[in-house]
Structure 1
């Protein structure tokens, strides 16, 4: 079919570069702000607790708007969501750099998050329009590799920028890159037809309430907030969530893609993604504490010891992408996540005085395992959806990643609160258990008969 033929070279190369630039900016900006929080709080005369909103405002606006924007992309075309999202992100980055107070910065971060959601909601759907069907795994692999590396190197990039410049430059450097990416996107990104189904604004509002309450409940649990307030939030999530799901069951193209979740292999791929990103975040947050507070390495050494994980992804993800065009995602994902599980177990039980080499190869094993899992998993999620629902599949992919990361971060906070002395080792053990669960869920796909659905 013509729809499966992608776009010609060299436009394809320019298009994937634009996708990579946009997703790098969106994911990296979600990670770098953590490192700068103490500096931002001091410069803007704000408390450490209130400065957390620099991170939370961004994460919240991204999460609540991913699925509504993905649904909008299915309706009006993915290019028409991606390019405005990239432009809004670029303008908001300038606003962040010019902010003079914490409330002002938090407000602009909300706007920046909406722009990032425009990028992340349809980026994999665009990959499906860029690459021919027989090369889809390679395109998804590039996308997955960029997401993984951007998440991993965020703290390192932030530290490097802050060593030579003030915190506003963390946001200002996005502006020229964003301008170039928007100009290139206008020329390179393909136009895909949408559909005439009226947009479901009520579902978009309900979606924002459901995911907002979910994030606040999980975050509050991790930080041991008032029990009654947590129960109220959880009840609100359950009640609105129930009404939201009931509404989606009546829609022909639901904003929450319940129609796609009825496809067994898609549902299993989503579950695998949530568990794997939860395990990854458990490790990412706890490892710096293990290296510095337990093993006695300094901040620079810690950054170097974390580097093998994303570097291994660089090599593993493209290979897995090629293999995913030939072999089952269930098998590749299961084997990759098994390698991640083994690596995490070895890190959790490494002993009190490990050498840098002993840490390095264990980190590389974790990264390689994660890289082998991610590309085939994303490819199967995307290819198992009908072509006219690619936006919904893309939005669920991003939502699964953010949900897993949010739960993982909350679990680390909870573990550190209960067992501060042994927190890092316990968190790594929990991460290994969750990664092992993800491996089993991935292997369940081998028993699910599946044929790629295309419109």
Structure 2
């Protein structure tokens, strides 16, 4: 099979692609995840300088972050299924091209509205890259290697996740905040070239037709939900309540549409897949804790211990390395052990957040943060790896789109809570607010751990009962 070969999911006798095409897919996904995560976390410390350069401030400046996250969270569900239907390689190349072109516009943006608009386009590119890239790896790698391949890609992306604040801060101090965007351009080109050399794959078990009504309904519902999560805390409570009502109504309409559609955008049977839903919801809790961790720790290093941006970033290298190594480790976890390990990671993550809020020594703080990077890195990587192992490969894009949408919306909750940590006068972490945010997040992680543990116990009991009944 050549590099331009097509891998048809669902077709009998399909030949797995050779090593070379699998390698190109892994490289493309790794570069794409790195770019996405760098832009998710690399601009937080650069916001004050962006405001000064573009003569902007107040809530408007926060849209530099929010526009990207909202666009990504809104569009991922549809992008994942479009990749299944029209070609995962094609959508991945398109996503990287959009991401690179919009990064160029961001780097040249003369005004805040132009920058925000380009960030929306960046989010659209990211929405294609992540779920489509995951489903491509699921379908070009054999079952015994999928987890490891996805783990390596997420581990490389984890470097950008953990080092994003440092890279963004260092580039802003030494060059310009625009350098963060310039860095994306050659990386996106490299990723697109790699993606173009892998095998094409798509779902042949369903007609290549799009449920446009469902796509529009899902996009509208998610857009309303994401805006409420991001902006709701700043609105008067009647307005926020009305926003929640609109989002819920749109979600209900979407579900009714999918029940009636001959070929729905999202098969509702996916939500009856117990292991998939348990891992996805646990991953949402883990992702919220991770976002809080990544916001609070660098800011606290600057605030409580008065480190400069560069020194704070250097001190954060150990947690960053631990988080990056977690991806390949998670890729080696057997699917049957994923739920139990996820519960352990949620419990461990809660303990780490509590310790961070109560630690008064810088050395101990960094040691605890390093453990936290490893635990939360495993949890987040395991979410994406394990959910792909419990669904049908031909609809991998649909499943990864749903999973990424859920955990991205959860990340929005984390971003909103982390916003309370930033002291607007000094642009560093407020110690009291940071401790409170960490404790709230730890409580949520512990609650998710308890729920997941109860689900595991209930499921094992049902399996034992079924085995006894069949044996009798």
Task: Return the TM-score normalized by structure 1.
Answer: 0.90
Equivalence map 1:253-264=2 (5 Å): 253-264=263-274
Query: 1:274: Cα distance to partner?
Result: 0.8
Equivalence map 1:67-82=2 (5 Å): 67-82=77-92
Query: 1:76: Cα distance to partner?
Result: 1.2
- Give per-residue Cα distances to partners, 1:254-276, cap 9 Å, x unaligned: 33453211111111111101111
Looking at structure 1, the residues matched to 384 and 320 of structure 2 have their Cα atoms a distance apart, in angstroms, of 18
Q: Which runs of 5+ in 1 are unaligned?
A: none
Contact 1:7 1:132 in 2 (8 A): no
Q: Residue 177 of structure 1 corresponds to which residue in structure 2?
A: 187
Looking at structure 1, the residues matched to 108 and 310 of structure 2 have their Cα atoms a distance apart, in angstroms, of 29
Q: 1:115 aligns with which of 122, 125, 131?
A: 125
SS state at 1:173 partner: helix
Matched, 1:387 2:396: no
Task: Return the TM-score normalized by structure 2.
Answer: 0.87
- Give per-residue Cα distances to partners, 1:147-171, cap 9 Å, x unaligned: 4332221111112222332222221
- Cα 1:387–1:207 shift into 2, 3 Å: same
Q: 2:415 aligns with which of 409, 419, 424?
A: 409
Matched, 1:249 2:239: no
Query: 1:302: Cα distance to partner?
Result: 2.6
- Give per-residue Cα distances to partners, 1:12-42, cap 9 Å, x unaligned: 2222011101121122122223232222222
Equivalence map 1:122-161=2 (5 Å): 122-161=132-171
SS state at 1:249 partner: helix
Looking at structure 2, the residues matched to 446 and 329 of structure 1 have their Cα atoms a distance apart, in angstroms, of 14
Matched, 1:19 2:29: yes
Q: Residue 366 of structure 1 corresponds to which residue in structure 2?
A: 372
- Cα 1:61–1:283 shift into 2, 3 Å: same
SS state at 1:46 partner: coil
SS state at 1:385 partner: coil
- Give per-residue Cα distances to partners, 1:43-93, cap 9 Å, x unaligned: 222234222222222222211111111121121121121111111111111
- Cα 1:315–1:332 shift into 2, 3 Å: same
Q: 2:224 aligns with which of 210, 213, 217?
A: 213
SS state at 1:199 partner: coil
Q: 2:241 aligns with which of 218, 231, 235?
A: 231
- Cα 1:87–1:415 shift into 2, 3 Å: closer
Contact 1:66 1:118 in 2 (8 A): yes
Runs (4 or more) in structure 1 with deviation over 6 Å come to 1-5
Contact 1:265 1:448 in 2 (8 A): no
Q: Residue 344 of structure 1 corresponds to which residue in structure 2?
A: 353
Q: Residue 328 of structure 1 corresponds to which residue in structure 2?
A: 337
Looking at structure 2, the residues matched to 390 and 244 of structure 1 have their Cα atoms a distance apart, in angstroms, of 21
RMSD: 2.6
Matched, 1:307 2:317: yes
- Give per-residue Cα distances to partners, 1:395-429, cap 9 Å, x unaligned: 12211221111111223346889xx7621111111
Q: Residue 291 of structure 1 corresponds to which residue in structure 2?
A: 301
Q: Residue 84 of structure 1 corresponds to which residue in structure 2?
A: 94
Q: Residue 108 of structure 2 corresponds to which residue in structure 1?
A: 98
Q: 1:42 aligns with which of 38, 46, 52?
A: 52
Looking at structure 2, the residues matched to 199 and 365 of structure 1 have their Cα atoms a distance apart, in angstroms, of 45
Contact 1:24 1:147 in 2 (8 A): yes
- Cα 1:97–1:421 shift into 2, 3 Å: closer
Pick which of 240-249 and 295-304 moved more: 295-304
